[in-house]
Amino acid sequence: MMEGLRIRRIDPFRLEIERKPPMRTRGIVYANSKIERSLEKDIVLQQVANVACLPGIVGPSLAMPDIHWGYGFPIGGVAAFSARDGIISPGGVGYDINCGIRCISTRLGLDEVKPVLDELLTGLFRNVPAGVGSINKGFQVGKKEFREVLTKGALWAVKKGFADRDDLDAHEESGCIEGADPDMVSERAVERGLPQLGTLGSGNHFLELDVVDDIMDEETANRFGLFAGQVVVLVHTGSRGLGHQVCDDYVHSMLVSLRRFGIELPDRQLACAPVGSPEGKAYLGAMAAAANFAFANRDLITLVVRETFERQFNRSSERLGMRLLYDCCHNIAKMEKVTHEGSPITVCIHRKGATRAFPPGDPRLPERYRQTGQPVLVPGDMGRMSYILAGQAGSRETFYSACHGAGRLLSRRQATKISRGRSILDELRKKDIHAMAASRSTLAEEIPEAYKDVSDVVDTITGAGIARPVARLRPVAMMKG
């Protein structure tokens, strides 16, 4: 631990953690004054400083405004490491590899959905397995085909007829992370993942119906297919037990190899290996496989969502306009080319609780988003707004990264304690939000006051020029695990 971190405000949206040994670089935390106050007694700033100690770090150790404590790296943390002499750390990706979110648009207005909202939510809750250890018997595959899921991700779902080919360019990386190596995934991880394709899981994972409450950029909203009063669907989940096991396996194996690489850590949870080492390459292959599982998982849930809407409204998903707006990763590490100090360099960018945010004109964007910039989906808590943003030029300072949500203020234990004796479902209903959950304990852990106000998070990101607001969403119905 480093005592007495020196922190100063750079501008209304950024704090600097000054470099002091053994830090190799400074830290930059994106936070307005309100978010700064929530961080004053939080050890999470120490985590930002700890990441700055890791070998081969390029540029500052970064944190988005939804920052909160995580395993090793903070959630909301972004860090780039040289492909030549940097590291890869499972804690920099997290236990839920490619936990991510997607938005499915519709042509339906709230006036058409509201009369059948309870019936529609009940159908979704019945058809999408949710909760701890949930499985989906409708999407069981053998181990041979499961390898194809891990290798091809969304491409597998398209091949099987479970997803639309037109949706592929609305997935980050077209829904398939290159370099996936199923041989680097343990048998235990495979066993955990096999029955969980097409399942939501628990914790902060959710399926939510929202209405577009405000259009903030008319031209971009039109290009995204958004309009005021429109109902959209958000799906937030990841790689389930498979990703958790992959992370656990490699944290332990890298702890064993640290001495051989001569790496000293301020926190053992930052277990890592040189990105070009056999251990580093093995983790990257296993992580990509878990990420591809997550893409396929969200595709299968989307299939079920479309089928549920079709039955409810007696129209095809095409006629209902159920098109994928975007699907983005929140927990991932990827090799990307960036410009640093005026020179092109290849780095391994860790985004843990952070969303990629390419600006307009970036050649890596699909044609449909080349002019607008990448959609950035920022969900709020159960009782407040969510946002759809678009990447801007300022994201170059964050290695093309933005926030991923509201960010926790309270631990799950603290949230459960203050929600004791309350009916969270009734509280939500008073806000005209319909909710269903597999577990009352999940609702207690996920109460709105357990999170920062997402509007403060978005104001910071937009004020810093990382992304611009396109639309604000209001929750009307949700299901939790």
The one-character DSSP state at 471 is E
Three-class DSSP category at 477: strand
Closest listed residue to residue 231, CA positions, set 383, 122, 317, 103? 103
For the chain, give percent helix, strand, coil, nearest 5: 40, 25, 35
224, 470 Cβ separation under 8 angstroms: yes
Strands (E), 190-253: 206-215, 230-237
DSSP state letters, 257-294:
HHHHHT---SSGGG--EETTSHHHHHHHHHHHHHHHHH
Kindly name the residue from 171, 244, 404, 434 that is annotated as catalytic: 404
Rounded to whole angstroms, the Cα distance separating 84 from 468 reads 34
224, 282 Cβ separation under 8 angstroms: no
Rounded to whole angstroms, the Cα distance separating 333 from 97 reads 9
Verify cis geometry, omega within 30 degrees of 0, for the bond prior to 22: yes
Three-state secondary structure of 434-464: EEEECCHHHHHHCCHHHECCHHHHHHHHHHC
Q: Burial, 267: exposed, middle or buried (Cβ in 10 Å; 0-12, 13-18, 19+)?
A: middle
Rounded to whole angstroms, the Cα distance separating 357 from 354 reads 9
The pairing of beta strand 467-480 with beta strand 434-437: parallel
Contacts of 199 (CB under 8 A, 6+ apart): 128, 129, 130, 134, 135, 136, 237, 240, 297, 301
228, 215 Cβ separation under 8 angstroms: yes
166, 322 Cβ separation under 8 angstroms: no
404 is catalytic: yes
Three-class DSSP category at 188: helix
Residue with tokens 């090799």: 335
Residue with tokens 């980050």: 172
Rounded to whole angstroms, the Cα distance separating 473 from 164 reads 25
424, 480 Cβ separation under 8 angstroms: no
Known catalytic residues are 404
